[in-house]
Amino acid sequence: MSHQAIYRKFRPKIFDDVLGQEHVTKTLKNQILSDNIAHAYLFSGIRGTGKTSTAKIFARAVNCLNNHDGNPCNECQICKSNLEETNMDVIEMDAASNNAVEDIRELRDKVKFLPVRSKYKVYIIDEVHMLSKGAFNALLKTLEEPPQHLLFILATTESHKIPATILSRCQRFDLKRIKSPVIVENMEKICDEIKVEYEEKALKLIASNSEGAMRDALSILDRCVSFNQEKIDYETVINLLGTVNYQTVMEVADSIIEKNIEKTCVLVDDILNSGKELIFFLDELIIYFRNLMIIKTTNNAQNLINISDEAIDEIRAMSDKLSIEKIVYYIEELSSTQVDCKRALNPKILLETRLIKMMQHFTVDMESLLKRIDLLENSIKNGISTAVITHDSSKSKHKAVKQQTTTVHWQDNNEKSVDNAKSYSPKISFDNVDDEGIYNAIIANWQEILKKVRSENAGLQAILRECKIVEVNNKKALFEFDPKFTFHINAANQPKNKLKFKEVLSTFLNAECEVDFLIKKDNSNVVQKQTIEDIYEDLKNTFGEDKVELKED
């Protein structure tokens, strides 16, 4: 006896065998039990999800002489003739090869005749979207006024190509992609039945490559069984699919994360020289980072990732090295590279170039970038230069803040000075304005001070938000910036801004108070910046040359 493909040998015989499509099979069974059969059905979905199998089961069930809970018995004369494909009342058509208007007109002439042995004459039209416009118009007339004995079952992978006039006359059922655990479980049962040993991770790899199509998974399984009839192991599946070993993918990903350019290039070269497809390799790498993202963002990764528990543990350990933003960046870059490699003349060189660029540069958080650019624009508009003044703040000592509340109420005077500047008459609740009192007053009313600075100069307020007071010495308030806020301390120490802040602070305290801005001592040397061109160079180094543009008025 000739070999029969596994997907045909184990094709579902009843509705209960159609896996992953319970929303469809349950509805059809209920319609059969209640004798509420429509005249036309449309089954849509990707390849290999059970459209044709469901159509064949339905064709048997509606005509079965001994129906069991909506399922065909597969033992009566009608069911057996259908299984043997000898029943003249069930006609299967392939619209891809019978798509002319003459074919549908011939069909329309035949549907008038009553079924020979069955209750319904059933027409199963596969890939119905391939019909021509004229053929659809010819079919429409039959669907509008069908005979009572007629049942149409249409199947398609591209329902959007079917005219709305046809869709509106059919009961439509969309078959979903089958989940990987369901596919794996079915393959395990088949392997047990045909007495073939298997590795679980090998079946999981087959399922992940089937993209939710059971037929694709069983076809791959059939190839593996033909290669080795004793056992289906992981390496066999890897070799037959032309994919990359998951451990190798993890090594490449780790070298990318560690920014090890030499190791990455060597690994990629070995992978491609071994005959693996570049596009498949990129696909595996993208899936790896996707798994990394899922593990880092969810607590239920096992249901969303089709890999072994050991691999999940390894990826979880790797996820601690990356932020979500960086993982997303890698996925986007690799996906873009995959698309470009498909049309590149030398995809290997393009891949190596993109990987090196990806390891040398990393995207900047957009919120942080916009904030810093906005600050720079405000600084330039206000004429702020960028001289950096460094100070060893390690010698500064914080004074203890007394547990007292200092409240300030600002009152605008009606009179205005010649330079149109506002003056304020503060009301302070402490009497002795010494260093400690100034320190405590600034601490207690810092947000109120920032509000008043904002009314005078919004850009200066944005700068001062990032500093904190460290001490007051001889009525000179010292404020400290973190070393990462280079632009902020540049702007804050500009004489114009220091004078403005001194005026606001002195008015608040009702006493003269000098101000100075320090930067925390850092191991790196602080380079002085004095021009807009220097700022431009600094921004290029920080964000990347392609992210910054200098425009001159």
Q: Which has the minimum average pLDDT: 97-101, 381-385, 400-404?
A: 400-404
Q: Residue 382 pLDDT > 70, yes or no?
A: no
Is the separation of the CB atoms in 291 and 319 below 8 Å? no
Instruction: Say if residues 51 and 40 touch (Cβ distance below 8 Å).
Output: no
- At 423 the pLDDT is 42
| Architecture of the structural domain at 6-174 | 3-Layer(aba) Sandwich (3.40)
pLDDT tens for residues 213-224? 899 999 999 999
Q: What's the rounded mean pLDDT across residues 420-445?
A: 63
Query: Among 208-212, 239-243, 400-404, where is mean pLDDT lowest?
Result: 400-404
377 pLDDT higher than 80: no
CATH 1.20.272.10 applies to domain 246-360: yes
Strands 467-472, 476-481: parallel, antiparallel or unpaired by DSSP? antiparallel
Q: Is the pLDDT of residue 527 over 60?
A: no
Nearest to 182 by CA among 213, 143, 138: 213
- Percent of the chain topping pLDDT 90: 22
Of the ranges 271-280, 293-302, 536-545, the best mean pLDDT one: 271-280
Q: Work out whether strand 427-428 and strand 231-232 pair parallel, antiparallel, or are unpaired.
A: unpaired
Whether the per-residue pLDDT at 86 is higher than 70: the answer is yes
Q: Do domains 6-174 and 379-538 have the same CATH topology?
A: no
pLDDT in tens, 290-341: 888 888 888 776 667 766 666 777 788 887 788 888 889 899 999 999 999 9
* pLDDT for residue 214: 92
Residues 45-82 have pLDDT tens digits of: 988 899 999 999 999 999 998 888 899 999 999 999 98
Q: Does the structure show a pLDDT above 70 at 536? A: no
Kindly list the domain boundaries of the chain, sorted by start residue. 6-174, 180-241, 246-360, 379-538
Structure confidence at residue 301 (pLDDT): 67
- Residues 425, 453 contacting (CB under 8 angstroms): no
Tokens 């008025």, residue?
A: 553
Mean per-residue pLDDT for 369-373? Answer: 66
Cα–Cα distance for residue pair 332/362, rounded to 1 Å = 12
Considering only residues 239 and 24, tell me which one the structure prediction assigns the higher pLDDT: 24
Q: CATH assignment of 379-538?
A: 3.30.300.180
Of the pLDDT bands very low, low, confident and very high (cuts 50, 70, 90), residue 493 is: confident
Through-space distance between the first and last CA atoms of the chain, rounded to whole angstroms? 85
* Mean pLDDT computed over 456-472: 86
The pLDDT value recorded for residue 24 is 93
- State which H helix or E strand residue 409 sits in: strand 408-409
- The arithmetic mean of pLDDT across residues 408-413, rounded, is 43
Q: Rounded mean pLDDT of 333-359?
A: 90
pLDDT beyond 50 at 427:
no
This prediction's pTM: 0.57
Asked if residues 104 and 135 have their Cβ atoms less than 8 Å apart, the reply is yes
pLDDT at 534: 64
> What is residue 233's predicted lDDT score, i.e. its pLDDT?
87
Check residue 397 and give its pLDDT. 40
Token digits of residue 31: 């319609």
Secondary structure letter of residue 282 according to DSSP = H
With CA atoms as reference, report the closest residue to 198 among 228, 174, 176. Answer: 228
As a whole number, mean pLDDT of residues 345-363 equals 84
- What does pLDDT average to over the chain? 80
Q: Does domain 180-241 have CATH number 1.10.2020.10?
A: no
